């Protein structure tokens, strides 16, 4: 039987978009990807791709390229206040890879170019659905009609806003914290390490990029008012961070000095939580549907798994979108729920609430627990964190996912 709904618009060429486009093109669909960046550059911030995410990339035939462009996850060093020697945490994610987000997207787009049309430097401005299709207007390209529309356009998804309307605003859940991220030269001279230090209501994580020439700095601050970074120029962001971290010791004074001159990303920590990921002929995938919060370190794998599930279900249903969207949600809900439950846990761990004494006590307790988990790891125990994504029914899609 011929497939229906072949012509598909995918908004977003980050992680989920190219993976979805690749598999759909391989199975007779005609995907068009619209990406707002005119010249999507390599580089970007550091993401860890979990083993489950790497499984998707291996099936797509790009796993080795991703490993070569990235590196294994660095050791985690928890610097308990007042101690010189950090507690070294067991590496929970054996098989995971750390890579710059832009490098990952470039590799995925390279792979997905066969049979995929790209509209770069453009975005969707309106989506009007009728019984047989969807009329889409773009900021630059002439309007076109598609059978289906996919929002793979990240946590601030324009497609979600256009199709779910005012409801979309209720979907962002603030985790009572703001995250600042910037990168600097590796003036500390450290190698293959992620160093963490916390104080009451704030924390600092410093991670080496693969190759160890640069450091990524993440500053997580409890704050019940979401940051309004759009209203803050770079100088205002510098001053904001200098004010919040100005009294702190450890490596912070040097990091704040190095920060001046760096581009600082400052954003509220939010999750996207929706009751349903599709409406009519439009469906959301990746962060657009269920952003998990950067500190949880799960969003990339979720996006890769979600794109795989959506492609698989559309192939199985021969383009019948109602059947496919229903089965896609059923395949992904449990994994997304588990990953999102980590957001508040990581916020609590990296920016603990409480007085100095309470945080001190908590750090001691955590140190003992961490020591115990390191011992257990030596006997083969794994952290619960590693298991997120193990519910994903990868075998269900094996038939259609031959590289």
Which of 90, 297 has the CB closer to ligand FAD?
Answer: 297
Using CB under 6 A, pick the residue from 31, 92, 268, 294 that binds ligand FAD.
Answer: 294
Q: Which stretch binds ligand FAD (CB under 6 A): 67-75, 110-118, 291-299, 366-374?
A: 291-299
Phi-psi region of 329 (alpha: psi -120 to 50; beta: other; left: phi over 0): alpha
Near ligand FAD in 75-134, by CB under 6 A: 101, 123-124
- Residue 183 binds to ligand FAD (criterion: CB under 6 A): no
Helix ranges restricted to H, 167-298: 234-245, 252-259, 287-290
Output the smallest distance, CB 131 to ligand FAD, in A: 26
- Residue 194 binds to ligand FAD (criterion: CB under 6 A): no
- Phi and psi for 344 in degrees, rounded to 5? -60, -30
Output the smallest distance, CB 256 to ligand FAD, in A: 18
Which of 49, 359 has the CB closer to ligand FAD?
Answer: 49
Report d(CA 280, CA 198) in Å as an integer.
46
| Exposure class string for 2-11: b at 16+ Cβ within 10 A, else e | ebebebbbbb
Q: Which residues contact 300 (CB under 8 A, 6 or more apart)?
A: 15, 47, 48, 49, 50, 53, 101, 104
- Residue 181 binds to ligand FAD (criterion: CB under 6 A): yes
Which of 156, 167 has the CB closer to ligand FAD?
Answer: 156
Token pair for 161 = 């806003």
Report d(CA 84, CA 254) in Å as an integer.
17
Q: Which stretch binds ligand FAD (CB under 6 A): 8-16, 233-241, 249-257, 271-279?
A: 8-16
Annotate 314-357 with DSSP letters as a single string: HHHTTT-HHHHHHHHHHHHHHHHHHHHTHHHHHHHHHS--S-HH
Torsion 145-149-155-160 (CA) sign:
positive
Using CB under 6 A, pick the residue from 8, 9, 10, 12 that binds ligand FAD.
Answer: 12
How is residue 260 annotated by DSSP? Answer: T
- Residue 300 binds to ligand FAD (criterion: CB under 6 A): yes
Which of 103, 153 has the CB closer to ligand FAD?
Answer: 153
Token pair for 388 = 């997120």
Output the smallest distance, CB 66 to ligand FAD, in A: 13
Q: Which stretch binds ligand FAD (CB under 6 A): 182-190, 228-236, 268-276, 292-300?
A: 292-300
Task: Sheet containing 30-35: give its strands across.
Answer: 117-120, 30-35, 7-11, 148-151, 282-284, 278-279
Using CB under 6 A, pick the residue from 56, 195, 244, 301 that binds ligand FAD.
Answer: 301
- Residue 284 binds to ligand FAD (criterion: CB under 6 A): no
Token pair for 377 = 């790891």
Output the smallest distance, CB 393 to ligand FAD, in A: 20
Contact call for residues 179 and 226 (beta carbons, < 8 A): no
Output the smallest distance, CB 13 to ligand FAD, in A: 5
Q: Which residues contact 122 (CB under 8 A, 6 or more apart)?
A: 34, 35, 36, 138, 139, 140, 141
Contact call for residues 296 and 342 (beta carbons, < 8 A): yes
Near ligand FAD in 24-63, by CB under 6 A: 34-37, 45, 47-48
Using CB under 6 A, pick the residue from 297, 344, 352, 389 that binds ligand FAD.
Answer: 297
Which of 56, 158 has the CB closer to ligand FAD?
Answer: 158
Q: Which stretch binds ligand FAD (CB under 6 A): 15-23, 186-194, 242-250, 376-384?
A: 15-23
Place of tokens 């787009």: 109
Output the smallest distance, CB 84 to ligand FAD, in A: 28
Task: Count the site residues for ligand FAD by CB under 6 A.
Answer: 32
Using CB under 6 A, pick the residue from 5, 9, 10, 14 that binds ligand FAD.
Answer: 14
Site residues (vs ligand FAD, CB under 6 A): 11-17, 34-37, 45, 47-48, 101, 123-124, 152-154, 158, 181, 286-288, 294, 297-301, 303
């Amino acid at each position: 039987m011929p497939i229906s709904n072949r012509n598909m618009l995918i908004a977003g060429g980050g992680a989920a978009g190219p993976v979805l486009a690749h598999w759909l093109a391989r199975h007779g669909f005609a995907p068009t990807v619209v990406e707002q960046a005119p010249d999507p550059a390599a580089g970007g911030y550091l993401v860890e791709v979990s083993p489950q995410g790497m499984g998707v990339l291996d099936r797509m035939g790009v796993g080795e390229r991703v490993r070569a462009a990235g590196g294994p996850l660095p050791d985690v060093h928890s610097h308990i206040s007042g101690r010189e020697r950090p507690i070294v945490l067991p590496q929970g994610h054996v098989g995971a890879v750390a890579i710059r987000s832009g490098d990952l997207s470039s590799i995925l787009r390279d792979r997905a170019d066969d049979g995929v049309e790209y509209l770069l430097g453009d975005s969707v401005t309106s989506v009007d659905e009728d019984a047989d299709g969807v009329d889409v207007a773009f900021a630059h390209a002439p309007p076109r009609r598609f059978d289906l529309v996919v929002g793979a356009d990240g946590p601030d998804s324009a497609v979600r806003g256009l199709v779910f309307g005012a409801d979309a605003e209720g979907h962002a859940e603030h985790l009572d914290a703001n995250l600042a991220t910037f990168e600097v030269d590796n003036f500390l001279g450290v190698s293959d390490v992620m160093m963490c230090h916390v104080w009451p209501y704030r924390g600092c994580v410093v991670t080496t990029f693969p190759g160890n020439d640069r450091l990524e700095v993440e500053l997580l601050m409890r704050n019940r008012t979401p940051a309004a970074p759009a209203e803050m120029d770079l100088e205002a962001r510098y001053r904001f961070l200098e004010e919040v971290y100005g009294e702190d010791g450890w490596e912070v004074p040097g990091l704040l000095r190095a920060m001046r001159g760096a581009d600082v990303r400052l954003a509220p920590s939010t999750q996207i939580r929706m009751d349903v990921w599709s409406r009519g002929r439009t469906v959301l995938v990746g962060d657009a549907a269920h952003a998990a919060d950067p500190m949880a370190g799960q969003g990339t794998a979720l996006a890769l798994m979600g794109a795989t599930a959506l492609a698989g279900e559309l192939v199985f249903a021969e383009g019948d979108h109602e059947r496919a969207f229903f089965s896609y949600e059923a395949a992904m809900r449990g994994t997304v729920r588990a990953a999102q439950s980590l957001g508040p846990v990581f916020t609590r761990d990296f920016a603990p609430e409480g007085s100095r004494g309470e945080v001190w006590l908590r750090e001691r307790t955590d140190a003992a627990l961490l020591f115990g988990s390191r011992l257990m790891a030596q006997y083969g125990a794994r952290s619960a964190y590693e298991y997120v994504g193990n519910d994903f029914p990868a075998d269900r899609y094996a038939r259609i996912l031959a590289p």
